[in-house]
Structures are given as C-alpha cells and as structure tokens.
Amino acid sequence: MTTNSKAITLAPALTPEGSLSRYLAEIRKFPMLAKEEEYMLAKRFAEHGDPDAAQKLITSHLRLVAKIAMGYRGYGLPIGEVISEGNVGLMQAVKRFDPEKGFRLATYAMWWIRASIQEYILRSWSLVKIGTTAAQKKLFFNLRKLKGQIDAVEDGDLRPEQVEHIAKKLGVTNDDVISMNRRMAGQETSLNAPMRSDGDGGEWQDWLVDEDAVNPEQKLANEDEYEMRMSLLDQALATLNEREQHIITERRLKDNPATLEELSQVYGVSRERVRQIEVRAFEKLQKAMKRMAKEAQSQKAEAAGAEA
C-alpha cells in the first residue's frame, strides 16, 4: 500500500463555523457507506490518492464527528470550533486508514477525532497548564462526571472525602483534584499564592508547566509511542470478529459506554451473553496486543543489532 501525501480538505460550504443547525442538516444528507463500498473507497485513496474517494469517506463520517463533539459541550468552547477540530482528526484518520486490517473506518477514526478535540480543549483552557500527563488529562476530562456521581455539583471547593474519592478513582493526588476543580470552576488564585496555608510547598507558579518548553525529542518520542499504541490496538481489533469489535467498542472504548441491555437488544441475546462476549473479546484483545508488542520489540532489537 502506497503512502498518500495529498492534502485532504472539506468543501468550503461544509464548515460548522456559521449556523450549527444548518451544518447539522447538511451533513445528514450524506449517505452512510456500506462496508464493501467503504472498503473500495479506502483502497482507491490508499493506493491511488483519489481525492473523490477521500471526500466520500470524510463526508459519510461527519455525523460521527458531530456526535462525539457534542459530548464536549461542557467546556465552554464554541461547539463549531470543537466540531472543526474533530473534523481535522477525521481527516488524519482517513489518511492513515488501512482497509486491509478488516475493521470499519468509524472504529479507527473515533480515536483520532477524540484526540484532536481533547488536544484543542487542553490548548484552549489555559496558555500555561499544569502538566498534561496522561493522569492529568484523565482528571480534566472526567472530573465533571465524577462530581455528578457524588452530587458535588457546586462550584466551591470539594469536601475532603470527595477529593479523596476522586483522587483514588483517577490515580492522581488530592492536590491535583483540588487544583483542577478550582481551575475548572474559575477559581484560579494568583500565581504567587502559596500552595499550602503553612507556606510550605512553594508558590502555584512553581508547579506550572509551559508545554512549549517540553524537550522536542521527548515530545516526538511521546507522539511516536502514542501512534505505536494506536497501531497495536488497530491490529488487535482486527483479530476480533465484527460482533466482538462492535461490543468492545461500545462497552470499553467510548466515553459513554452502551449498557448490556442496549446491546442485548441489538443482537437479540441475553445481557449475560453480551457480557460473556465482551469478557472473551477483551481477553483476546489483550493477548493480541501483548503478542504484537513483543514482536515489535523483537523487530526493533534486531534492527538495532543490524545497525551496530
């Protein structure tokens, strides 16, 4: 399969920056693609760089972007811009999609769409952010949901037991939870304010990290690792049958997972049967990813040895 380097763009009329309702009405006009049609279009674009094929793949998935973007309405950003960022992720997914791996574009694209939207939100929330580690990002995007689950909906500080519960749930420190809650509630204090009431721990500005100051080599390594994990997940998903892929995607890979009852109605089986399929598919997925990771490490070691 040849690598396509042509740029993919949306038609000027297809942007959510104007009337959102008109945009949503327009994208609903594009038909969903049958599996075989999607495969042929993806193959045409991958092998020949056919822009018309790419355009059809994109427009048929704009509704998916809009649906995912609507889940991020609570961050105070223009929804049109959120959708636009999601569309960028969709374009990246189409450029990298390999139709020979056996799964649908939507399964692959949703990862790129979410990643693009989340990076945009993190960039927009603050020019200087508390370290954007995986745990911090998880805290940022899950704090509201967890507060709702424990009825902590006020904008004030959380009670100590609520802080403890959220920190344990997300694998972060209590200070991380307090800090993020205040920032998201618009309660950011002066950067020169002390971290603790007794004066120990330094000032807030001592704990702030400018993302632009990250070592470029480390940033590149992180991006490479992320892409490698995404690739391994894609390959592992392809080892599952279509029903297993769908159930795993709906139950494990979405921000708002489907219930066993919902999936039991889709497939006409009991909830227990859906649960059994999910568990078995997840075990297969884990084994496949571990095997592929070992193979990748082995190939990397062989390549390093050959260079030496």
Phi-psi region of 30 (alpha: psi -120 to 50; beta: other; left: phi over 0): beta
Whether 302 shows a pLDDT value over 80: the answer reads no
Please name the residues in contact with 4: beta carbons below 8 A apart, sequence gap of 6 or more: 45, 46, 49, 95
Fold of 214-297: Arc Repressor Mutant, subunit A (1.10.10)
Split at pLDDT 50, 70, 90, the class of 204 is very low
- Give Cα 91 to chain centroid, integer Å: 15
- Give CA torsion, residues 284, 288, 289, 293, to 10 deg: 160
**Whole-number pLDDT of residue 145:** 74
Split at pLDDT 50, 70, 90, the class of 216 is very low
Residue % of the chain over a pLDDT of 70: 69
pLDDT tens, residue by residue, 109-121: 888 898 888 888 7
- According to the CATH classification, is domain 1-126 in 3.30.413.10? no
Please name the residues in contact with 28: beta carbons below 8 A apart, sequence gap of 6 or more: 63
**Whole-number pLDDT of residue 55:** 92
Burial class (CB in 10 A: 0-12, 13-18, 19+), 117: buried
pLDDT tens, residue by residue, 235-272: 888 889 989 988 988 887 776 678 888 888 888 899 89
pLDDT tens, residue by residue, 12-67: 445 555 578 888 888 888 999 999 999 999 999 999 889 999 999 999 999 999 99
- Give Cα 7 to chain centroid, integer Å: 23
Euclidean distance between CA atoms 214 and 219, whole angstroms: 7
Whether 206 shows a pLDDT value over 60: the answer reads no
Distances from the Cα of 98 to the Cαs of 40, 43, 112, in angstroms?
11, 8, 14
Q: Domain ranges in the chain? A: 1-126, 129-209, 214-297
